[in-house]
Amino acid sequence: MKSIKKPIVIVGAGFGGLTVASSLKRLNPSLPILVVDSEEKFIFKPLMYEVLSEELSMWETAPEFSNIFSNLGITFLRNSLTKIRFDEKVLEFCDELIISYELVILCTGSVSNSFSVKGVDENCYFFNNLNDLKKLKSFLQKFQNYTTKKNLFVIGAGPSGVEIACKINDIYKNKFVISIVEKSNEILGRNKIFNREEAEKALERRKIKVILNSTVQQISDQKIRILDDSEIKDLDQDVVIWTAGVKPNLSYINEQVTQKDGRIQVNEKLQIENYINSFAIGDIAIIKGMEDLPVTAQIAMQQGNHLAKNIELLFQEKDLLPFDFEDNGEMISLGIGEASISALGVTLSGKLAFEARRLIYASKMPDIIKSLKSTASWLFQKKSTINNLINKKP
């Protein structure tokens, strides 16, 4: 076994970073691991909708990194990476701190992508991190006392757009006329058919308007301009929430690492090309030959677990193994008390799915907060668990 003096540095402690750190610690407790994140708290993004609706409180979904990592016996540093010098194996941080590493694992996730559409940054709310959540929540609260309905637009009919539209409708009953604007000809284009159909029904029941085949051209403080077929329309808006896309958070990359679609290209062992001691996982990484994988917590966690095993193999001077994605399905929240699940051949919708989703997440949250013992795929438990839930419920 090779011994190392410098630490393994993990930059970004979201789903990928947290998983690789805790798995590595479990596999080899003597390894020196340093985790760095620019934020104070982890955010369990799939449950942000429930924080907005106050079905869950902030503390339940956003534990402090210092608590998580002290429980795991891993050193945590709050700092923001600004530059990497791959050849020298050196990281530079925003306060001029410099750290040398033995191995580096990059997992800095995504930020919202406004695609340079005019007025988006200035006039839209986003829903990608804790700050976005707090900002949107406090802004929407002022509409509680309004008596006339306001126009709320959600841009993008992916999971985030559909989930947030349903949730806001249920929280702020009769306060908003909600419309989702989508540039393609369907909602949830990359999701499971069952979830798409359930989402369509959920939107219809709530009278949420879906404007398909429409591209947002510009957003001002009162109007939203969309191009629908060949016609330009200026619509009155009171609130616009932009969920149309994300881009990898890679502001610190200024060297010639191979990138594809703006993401760092890694080989199937999750190594960055030309830098075998450097790895990238989660939303920032694209695996050569597996370019179609979506950016999800499920994938970030599977990659985290896989990478921990590969690093252990590296120290044993054995060959690293290729990553293989196991599709454990997906869960979508559809308003207060409703959800849709399509996982491992099982489909569930409505209140039962909401309860199953809540139990699946709830059963895993304490692991994150207390010790992260189980970093296996806790987004989706195995079919047997879901079957048990079905059998228990009326």
Ligand X SMILES: Cc1cc2nc3c(=O)[nH]c(=O)nc-3n(C[C@H](O)[C@H](O)[C@H](O)COP(=O)(O)OP(=O)(O)OC[C@H]3O[C@@H](n4cnc5c(N)ncnc54)[C@H](O)[C@@H]3O)c2cc1C
Q: Closer to ligand X at the Cβ: 14 or 119?
A: 14
Q: Whole-number minimum distance, CB 207 to ligand X, in Å?
A: 23
Alpha carbon distance 52, 48 (integer Å): 6
CB of 234 to ligand X, least distance (A): 29
Q: Which is nearer to ligand X, 97 or 212 (CB)?
A: 97
H-type alpha helices, 28-72:
48-52, 58-61, 65-72
Shortest-Cβ-distance residue relative to ligand X: 14
What minimum distance in Å lies between the beta carbon of 42 and ligand X?
A: 7
Q: Shortest distance, CB of residue 147 to ligand X, whole angstroms?
A: 30
> Sheet harboring 90-93: ordered strands across?
81-85, 90-93, 98-100
* Burial of residue 393, with CB atoms counted within 10 A of its CB: 0-12 exposed, 13-18 middle, 19 or more buried: exposed
User: Of 210 and 379, which CB lies nearer to ligand X in the complex structure?
Assistant: 379
Q: In the structure encoding, which two tokens stand for residue 207, read together?
A: 């009278």
Minimum Å gap between C-beta 14 and ligand X is 2
Question: Which residues are CB-contacts of 138 (< 8 A; sequence separation ≥ 6)?
Answer: none
Take residue 208 and report the two structure tokens written for it: 């949420």
Residue with tokens 């990281």: 91
CB of 96 to ligand X, least distance (A): 14
Contact at 8 Å (CB) between 81 and 92? yes
Whether the Cβ atoms of residue 328 and residue 366 lie closer than 8 Å to each other: no
251: amino acid identity, one letter:
S
Nearer to ligand X, 62 or 219 (CB): 62
Q: Which residue's CB is nearer to ligand X, number 127 or number 172?
A: 127
Of 241, 162, 240, 242, nearest to 206 (Cα)? 162
Residue number with CB closer to ligand X (66 or 222): 66
**Cβ of residue 54: shortest distance to ligand X, in angstroms?**
16
Measured distance CA(102)–CA(11) in Å, rounded:
13
Positions in the binding site for ligand X (CB under 6 A): 11-17, 36-39, 45-46, 48, 80-81, 107-110, 127-128, 160, 249, 252, 282-283, 295-298, 300, 331, 379
Query: Largest Cα–Cα distance in the chain?
Result: 69
Closer to ligand X by Cβ: residue 226 or 335: 335
Distance between CA 45 and CA 133 in Å, rounded? Answer: 10
